[in-house]
Amino acid sequence: MSVDAVGTVRRGRGARKAIRQTRDVKMLPALKRKLPYTEPMTPDQIEKIDGASMDILENVGVQFRDDIALEDWKRAGAKVVGDMVYLDRNLVRELIATIPETFTYHARNPANNLPFGRDHAMFVPMTGAPYLRDLDDLRRNPTLDDLANFHKLSHMLPAIHSSAHHIVEPYDWPISQRHLRITYSSMKHSDKTFMGMTTSPKNAEDVIEMCAILFGDDFLETHPVVTGNCNGNSPLVWDETMLGAMRAFCKRNQPVLCSPFVLGGANTPASVPATVAQLNAEALSALAYTQVIRKGCPAIYGHYLSTVSMKSGAPMAGTPEISLMNFMIGQMARFYGVPWRTSNTLGGAKTFDAQAGYESAMTMNAVLMAGANYIWHSAGWNEAGMHCSTAKFIVDAEMCEMGYRMAEGVNWDDFDAAIAAVPDIGPGGHYLGHPHTLEHFQKAFFMPEMFDNNAIEQWQAEGSIEINECALIKARAMLNEYEEPKLDAGVNEALLDYIARREREIPAVDALNQEH
């Protein structure tokens, strides 16, 4: 290699190092996928699932354990016997036809608005962890400050599109009042879209009122700004808590995830297609009810999907059947013309180890190829959701960046310029110093920050730091660099006033607020 070439290579390495050392915290736009879908079902098989689901709705029925919902269904024309609702397939089709196939999520920073549905997708962190592995990799109970740290990291990680809500449970706050502080943390520490607590109807109403303070009452009427999640109890039950929370969101035109909680083989048949048929019936019954509440309000086909070990009864993640079900559910959601949510980077590993990586990678690839829109639990999930790992949170977010790059598909924009470099170099040469390489190397191939690809000698010389510690180092650095996206002073004061009033009204107890 010539002296000039060596100098060019060194300058290239220096430029690459400078890029790696410059933290880019600007959020990536909503993922616009360009890869073909993985669709294992034929049109006849889609019709078979649809027919089986409609038979379940018409003949087995769905239990709605909520007096208001039962009266709503009677007015809508459904057959109601006790707390059982039997849904005519034509009524279901008529109702779900009014669900918007696409809409835009609006963040308090308009630069972080997200087109959503069809080929647009977003990555959302995990939520609900009762434990965390902290910045020292210690497993312990979380606090409100720990939750704030995850919201700050969510704000700074480019592929994370939402600050979610209770990524970890803040145990230093009473359960009855916890939702207020969680919502404020989501709003304060990030200017991306977020999720709203649906742990009780009263809690959901508080979330919506806080959103009205942040965005304005009239704005909520026409702009989705927050996402609620309503879990069904498989098989075929929707309870009063979830249905009341669903009404709070739908009445104000805010989207909810209609999510059957599936443990394949335990609360569904021990069969992939039969599980999908039951799950589909459960999701459709809730999606239809959103349109009984408010015609045209946004709603999202959801699910939590796991299979159960027949050896221990423990939920499993990253298994082939879960991938197959994700492919099938994606087909069903597109068949009905509704956006859909699934879960990402799931696993049962107790630490951030090889099992955690393999399970998460298996799940992510299937989710991306299945064409999911709302990709939840995309960062931090470990130990079957029992803890959020700070290290895994960081690495999962980089995995989301890589998944984002893959799902964008092949970039042909510079093909002619790149192919023109081949005769310039000819046999036996190298492209490192070519003008095309110097112009495009930053984006031509993804350069992971968390994955070490150096020779073992260099890795050892730099301290033999494994990925877990590497990620914790990055997390500490990011938190030190964090700059708060300040709320408007008047809005912040109004939010704090609302929280103070509600904390006076809600008794501070370790139970969900259902009455105040």
Distance CA 251, CA 223 (A): 13
Cα–Cα distance measured from residue 424 to residue 503, given in angstroms and rounded to the nearest whole number: 71
pLDDT of 502 strictly over 80: yes
* Cα gap 338→431, rounded to integer Å: 46
Q: Is the pLDDT of residue 471 over 50?
A: yes
Q: Tell me phi and psi for residue 445, to 5 degrees.
A: -135, 130
Q: Is 289 helix (H, G, I), strand (E, B) or coil?
A: helix
Give the pLDDT confidence score for residue 16 in this predicted structure.
46
SS3 content of the chain, % helix, strand, coil (to 5): 50, 15, 35
Give pLDDT, residue 314: 84
In this structure, the strands spanning 131-133 and 387-389 are parallel
For 259, the token pair is 């999510």
What DSSP string runs through 101-137? Answer: S-EEE--SSGGG-EEEBTTEEEE-----BSEEE-TT-
pLDDT value, residue 6: 44
| pLDDT of residue 80 exceeding 90 | yes
Around Cβ 446, how many Cβ atoms within 10 Å? 12
What would the pLDDT profile of 153-166 be if each residue is shown by its tens digit?
Answer: 999 999 999 999 99
Using 50, 70 and 90 to split pLDDT, how confident is the model at 261? very high
The pLDDT tens digits of the residues spanning 27-57 come to 999 999 999 999 999 999 999 999 999 999 9
Q: Among residues of the chain, what percentage have pLDDT more than 90?
A: 91
Residues 508, 282: Cα–Cα separation, whole Å? 35
> What distances in angstroms separate CA 471 from CA 108, 340, 350, 474, one per listed residue?
29, 31, 17, 5
Tens of pLDDT, residue by residue over 168-187, are 999 999 999 999 999 999 99
For the cut 70, the answer to whether the pLDDT of residue 20 exceeds it is no
pLDDT at 442: 86
Q: For residue 17, what pLDDT band results from cuts at 50, 70 and 90?
A: low
Per-chain mean pLDDT for the chain: 94
402, exposed or middle or buried, with CB in 10 Å at 0-12, 13-18, 19+? middle
Q: Is the pLDDT of residue 152 over 60?
A: yes
pLDDT digits (tens, 9 = 90+) for 364-397: 999 999 999 999 999 999 999 999 999 999 999 9
The pLDDT of residue 309 is 84
What is the model's pTM? 0.94
∠373-86-282 over CA atoms, to 5°? 25
Nearest to 46 by CA among 269, 328, 286: 328
Token digits of residue 404: 């984002």
Query: Which pairing describes strands 131-133 and 139-140: parallel, antiparallel, or unpaired?
Result: antiparallel
Radius of gyration of the chain (CA): 24
What pLDDT digit, counting tens, does each position of 190-245 carry?
Answer: 999 999 999 999 999 999 999 999 999 999 999 999 999 999 999 999 999 999 99
The total of other beta-carbon atoms located within 10 Å of residue 148's CB is 20
* Cβ neighbours around 16 below 10 Å, total: 13
How far apart are the C-alpha atoms of 213 and 499, rounded to whole Å?
11
Q: Do 53 and 281 meet the contact criterion of CB atoms below 8 Å apart?
A: yes
Q: Over 90: is that where the pLDDT of 15 sits? A: no
pLDDT beyond 90 at 312: no
Tokens of 282: 């459960």
What pLDDT, on a 0 to 100 scale, did the predictor assign at position 14?
55
How far is it, in rounded angstroms, from Cα 456 to Cα 233?
50
CA distance 470 to 455: 17
Give the model's pLDDT for residue 22. Answer: 66
pLDDT of 26 higher than 80: yes
pLDDT given at position 8: 46
Q: How far is CA 424 from the centre of its chain?
A: 46
**Residue among 38, 37, 59, 80 at smallest CA distance from 277:** 59
Share of the chain above pLDDT 70, in %: 96
Rounded mean pLDDT of 480-497? Answer: 98
Tokens of 171: 């145990």
Only one residue has tokens 């990524």, namely 167
CA within 13 Å, CB half, 226? 31
Q: Which ranges of 351-487 would DSSP assign to H, the alpha helix?
A: 354-370, 390-407, 415-419, 421-425, 435-444, 456-461, 467-481
